[in-house]
Amino acid sequence: MTPSKIIQLQTRAVEVPFDYPIRTASGIVPTAPLVLIDLQTDAGVTGRAYIFAYTPIVLKALMSLYGDLKPLILGSTLAPQALDEALRRRFTLLGTAGILRMVLAGLEMAAWDAFAKTLNLPLVQVLGGSPVGIRAYDSHSMDGESLATDRAVASAKAGFKGIKTKIGYADFGEELNVLRSIRRAVGDDFEILVDYNQSLTVPEAIRRGKYLEEIDIAWIEEPVLQGDYSGHAAVAQALSIPVQLGENWFGPEEMMLSVKAKAGDFAMVDIMKIGGVSAWLKASAIAEQHSLPLSSHLFQEISAHVLSVSPTAYRLEHLDIAGPILQDRLRIKDGLAFPSDQPGTGVEWDEDRVRQLSK
């Protein structure tokens, strides 16, 4: 079979509304600013992916970068890993962290989608695996006692076996009230995960964590600044609750720095920030070698595929940032997330909604 060539790249910016704004101790994300990527091949196949900008302020910069990269990829062979490596080599002197890594990861994910579609297989099968159900938790915000409890109960009724709630309240008494209210409402067999979003000092994280041990919290996520690996290690050593971090690792190389520092008990990888599918597979190998339970951050559609081929797969974060612009949403049954059985990753645009939400 003659390899396909990339003949066109199209990107569009949208702002997708949330049912609930993402409120954290470190700021609020009121909408999901996304860049949608369409990578067309001469075989008549279009690979699709999206990246999450966190703030609309950088949408123009991301779109501009894609425009500048376009001449570098048109005419290239559709070989996702080789394409990604070639692009990264061009930026060796600059480096590929930050928004450049995000942009390159979006191209790589779109290329994998196109490659899998060319083979008429779901991505999980192209990667050598078979679709399995990954235990998913429903990801919530810093909602206050009443809303946090109501949302937890709704998630339990929807079949989830756990939720994550964002904490870091100025009044620690309020924080405890929120978590105790959730625990009373959902019972003892339901997982409660918490996320401080980097808002605490090391001593405060340890102080609060000691109280949280009494509520049976399943993990504490990013209690201190994400790059403070020694600080995370100190918190992890002081508490019986597992410490989770990793969503802000830019590349497997940063993951290794964290692992060497024994910064956390679990690993959470964001497929965009880590660098795409190929980089996820490297991160998965690191997690396996160091016996770290591996969970996903955002990008639930493609994460369901790559978690299915990850030996230490643990939890999938259900936070549906792109759902309103997709033809089909991620399938979740009895608290398990299943990758799409369609060729590719399952990401296909609802063009009517895309037009309505375009920037």
Whole-Å CA distances, 102 to 82, 84, 177, 206, 316:
17, 12, 38, 33, 20
Strand 191-195 to 336-338 pairing:
unpaired
Contact 65, 105 (CB under 8 A): no
The one-letter code for the residue type at 104 is: L
Q: How far apart are CA 23 and CA 147, in angstroms?
A: 12
| Contacts of residue 178, Cβ cutoff 8 Å, sequence gap at least 6 | 143, 144, 145, 148, 149, 165, 167, 169
Q: Which residues are catalytic?
A: 166, 297
Q: How far apart are CA 266 and CA 218, in angstroms?
A: 11
Long-range contacts of the stretch 282-289 (C-beta < 8 A, 24+):
282/252, 283/249, 283/252, 283/255, 284/309, 284/310, 284/311, 284/312, 286/252, 286/255, 286/256, 286/259, 287/311, 287/312, 288/312
Q: How far apart are CA 171 and CA 25, in angstroms?
A: 12
Contact 43, 2 (CB under 8 A): no
Question: Which 8-state DSSP code applies to residue 257?
Answer: H
CA angle 283, 251, 297 (to 5 degrees): 70
**Closest listed residue to residue 296, CA positions, set 286, 282, 310:** 310
